[in-house]
Amino acid sequence: MAVAGAPSRPYRDLHEHIAALRDAGLLVEVDRPINKDTEMHPVVRWQYRGGIAEEDRKAFLFTNVTDSKGRKFDMPVLVCGLAGNPAIYELGIGHPLEEVKDRWSAALRDPVAPHVVDAAVAPCRDIVYRGADLTKGKGLDDIPVPISTPGWDNAPYTSSSHYITKDPDSGIQNVGNYRGQIKAPDRLGINTSVELRTGGYLHWLKWKERGQPMPCAVVVGCPPIVSYASVQKMPEDQDELAVAGALAGGPINMVAAETVDLLVPAEAEVVIEGLIDTEYLEPEAPFGESHGYINLCEYNGYMDVTAITRRKDAVITSWMSQVAPSESSVIRRFAYEANQTRYLRDQLGIRGLVAVKAHEPLTSLQRVIVLVFERATPRTEIWRAMYGITSFRQSEGKWIVAVDEDIDPANADAVFWAMSYRSRPQHDVEVMKHQDQGHGPRSTLDPEDAAVLIDATLKENFPPVSLPKREFMEKAAKIWDELGLPALTPEAPWYGYDLGEWNEDFEAMAKRATDSDYWETGKSFAQRRRKDVEMNTEIRALGDEDGEDAD
């Protein structure tokens, strides 16, 4: 679907990728009406919680999207279309999986600068809405963003949204994948993952020092190769779009944004432009997170939208996240393992390392990490590698296991077998104290964590399990059957349930969300803005959960 006059490109846009999925038998096309706020994600969730083998999971294209108010949307929604399973990821990145790790290492080492094209040949500029259009039916309310975890989420959230920002000092752009709460037709939330010290957050701090709002462009739907690069954590002086170009084998086409001084992918489906306030923060969440629990209310940023540009035939993407395995874990896994391997081998010079495997189901890649070594690797190298993983990134690794290369690191039973018979705890186990608790439900009892040995039973109330409530999953199972999809075998947990940290206010917001009345929550949050709190400050820590306006 190349545009006349546009430069050639070595990568597929999203429409070409969808056609490739269709040709490969990896796409389920759903033409019947689907409510984005109550049905869409629960239907797709079943392929991860219903006993469907990984190789049988598919991408889903919903072409008849509605909401609980009966509204119909003209944009299809693609769910699990980039990493529903490894075969889909392989198709999107354009290389066999066995080559992916080496290609990631090469792309990080030798990035390819993007190519800037004229707006006249950029599909993302087919349609432009700004000014009064944004509050007259052509704003965020015109984009069919689904509710990811109905019954718990307080609004639809963009889950595949790539936030493009720029360092005001160096001018280097960063692309970070953050969730975005739909708060008003012209207002979008942002949570920049403060604990990971991402580029978007560091940029925000610099703009805050200048006393200026931060220009931002949010991409929802784009060439798959752009998404694969955007979800990775890279050095702050490295442009993710240049790494994407190296992965693609040629430069990514970029175009100047309409209202902010940023470059955006020319083949993007939808681009939301605006300014992120650096003086005030406002409440954001609850939202089902990738660590498997609901992220409770925090104070976070918001963007005042200045323009929305889109393709005439736009398709938006929505990623399946929350409890792993999911699309969000598959899309990160291969490059994540490649980056860890590269760090240990190239920067620490570890000898004898064969592979790094991040455990995925339920733990979501960062908590359980298996290192595979050649036989007879010196013990000093094995311990250097395990120490190295704990310092690779903040809160990296809670259980780190070294095994011989005859042990399949993807088979938990095999790893437990090695732990049971190839280790003696009095000699072979060490606890690394004073670790950051990282990405997960934050403890109100102890802000620190440890690596390796931790009692994993609840010591305090936890937020709900971030899966749709049972009523939505049961209804979705009926739709699944109506579509003639493979028989389901539910695997616990297959629906969300409360573990003590849920209240009536959260329940009311979640109910408004599934009733498609989430704008009311956005209005309420706007009244609770305050400038005396840090980014990511949880509401419960301030005693501000009763909905009263702050002074």
**Which CATH number fits the domain that encloses residue 181?**
2.30.110.10
pLDDT at residue 261 greater than cutoff 50: yes
The DSSP bridge pattern shows strands 162-166 and 214-220 to be: antiparallel
Q: Kindly state the average pLDDT of the residues 496-520.
A: 92
pLDDT of residue 196: 57
Which range, of 7-11, 21-25, 400-404, averages the lowest pLDDT? 7-11
Residues 377 and 248 occupy one common structural domain:
no
pLDDT band for 108, please (50, 70, 90 cuts).
confident
Assess whether pLDDT exceeds 50 at residue 82: yes
Average pLDDT rounded to a whole number, residues 459-463 = 63
Q: Do residues 253 and 266 lie in contact, with contact meaning Cβ atoms separated by under 8 Å? A: yes
**Residue 184 is inside which H or E element, if any?**
strand 180-184
The pLDDT value given to residue 543? 76
**Token digits for 208?**
């805050």
Report yes or no: 129 and 186 within 8 Å, Cβ to Cβ. Answer: no
Question: For 184-203, what is the mean pLDDT?
Answer: 85
DSSP string for 481-529: HHTTPPPP---SS-SB--BB---HHHHHHHHHHHTT-HHHHHHHHHTT-
Q: Exposure string (b/e) for 31-54, b if CB count within 10 Å is 16 or more?
A: eeebbbbbbbbbbbbbbbbbebee
In a domain, 475, yes or no: no
Task: Kindly list the distances between the CA atom of residue 55 and the CA atoms of 59, 86, 118, 304, in Å, as whole numbers in the listed order.
Answer: 12, 8, 41, 42
Q: Report the C-alpha gap between 454 and 479 in whole angstroms.
A: 41
Residue 494 domain-assigned (yes or no):
no
Last residue of a domain, one of 323, 339, 374: 323
Q: Is residue 506 part of a domain?
A: no
Average pLDDT of the chain?
88
Residue 201 counted as domain residue: yes
Could you give the CA distance from residue 551 to residue 543 in angstroms, rounded to a whole number? 13
Cα–Cα distance measured from residue 48 to residue 490, given in angstroms and rounded to the nearest whole number: 9
The sign of the CA dihedral 190, 316, 90, 43 is: positive
Instruction: Record the tokens describing residue 31, joined without a space.
Output: 């033409």
Measured from the Cβ of residue 68, the count of other Cβ atoms closer than 10 Å reads 17
Question: What is the mean predicted confidence (pLDDT) over 358-366?
Answer: 73
User: Cα–Cα distances in Å, from 294 out to 157, 244, 406, 533?
Assistant: 13, 31, 38, 22
Phi, psi of 390 (to 5 degrees): -65, -20
Residue 395: predicted pLDDT: 63
CA separation for the pair 190, 158 (Å, rounded): 10
The residue segments making up the domain with residue 141 are 14-323
Q: Which pLDDT score is estimated for 375?
A: 80
When mean pLDDT is compared across 66-80, 157-171, 476-490, 495-509, the lowest value belongs to 495-509
Q: Which of 208-217, 334-343, 507-516 has the lowest mean pLDDT?
A: 334-343
Over residues 167-185, the pLDDT tens digits come to: 999 999 999 999 999 999 9
CA distances from residue 261 to 161, 256, 405 in whole angstroms, order as listed: 19, 7, 50
pTM of the model: 0.79
Say yes or no: 27 and 73 in one domain. yes
Whether residues 316 and 345 share a domain: the answer is no
Q: Is residue 9 domain-resident?
A: no
Domain co-membership, 19 together with 116: yes
- Asked if residue 310 belongs to a domain, the reply is yes
Strand partners, 259: none
Pairing mode, strands 368-373 and 399-404: parallel
Identify whether residues 418 and 311 lie together within a single domain: no
Q: Would you place residue 3 in the very low, low, confident or very high pLDDT band (cuts 50, 70, 90)? A: very low
Do 115 and 222 have their domain in common? yes
Tally of domains in the chain: 2
Higher pLDDT, 129 or 441: 129
**Tokens matching residue 443:** 């403890």
Residue 202 has pLDDT above 80, yes or no: yes
- Does the pLDDT of residue 542 top 90, yes or no? no
In this prediction, residue 343 has a pLDDT band, given cuts at 50, 70 and 90, of confident
Is 191 found in the same domain as 45?
A: yes
* Same domain, yes or no: 273 and 390: no
Percent of the chain exceeding pLDDT 90 equals: 60
Whether the predicted pLDDT of 292 surpasses 60:
yes
Q: Is residue 4 part of a domain?
A: no
- For 30-50, write each residue's pLDDT tens digit: 999 999 999 999 999 999 889
Q: Which helix (H) or strand (E) holds 264?
A: strand 263-265
Question: What is the average per-residue pLDDT within 303-311?
Answer: 98
Q: Which pLDDT value is given to residue 550?
A: 41
Nearest to 463 by CA among 538, 358, 366, 367: 538
Token pair 């790494």 in the structure block, residue = 243
**What's residue 459's pLDDT?**
37
- In this structure, the answer to whether residues 145 and 127 fall within a common structural domain is yes
Residues 71 and 130 in one domain: yes
pLDDT score for 454: 31
Token output for 451 = 């690596």
Please indicate whether residue 513 or residue 97 has the higher confidence score (pLDDT): 513
| Gap between the Cα atoms of 68 and 37, Å rounded | 7
- Is the domain of 348 the same as that of 390? yes
pLDDT-based confidence at 456, cuts 50/70/90?
very low
Out of 451, 467, 492, a domain closes at: 451
CATH number at residue 341: 3.40.1670.10
CA distances from 178 to 66, 153, 200 (A): 25, 16, 9
Q: What pLDDT band is residue 386 in, cutting at 50, 70 and 90?
A: confident
Sequential DSSP letters for 393-441 = STT--SEEEEEETTS-TT-HHHHHHHHHHS--HHHH---EEEEE--SSP
Residues 345 and 317 in one domain: no
Tell me the C-alpha distance between 132 and 244, whole Å. Answer: 35
In a domain, 287, yes or no: yes
d(CA 190, CA 179): 6
Q: Is the pLDDT of residue 116 over 50?
A: yes
- Final residue in a domain of this structure, among 323, 347, 381: 323
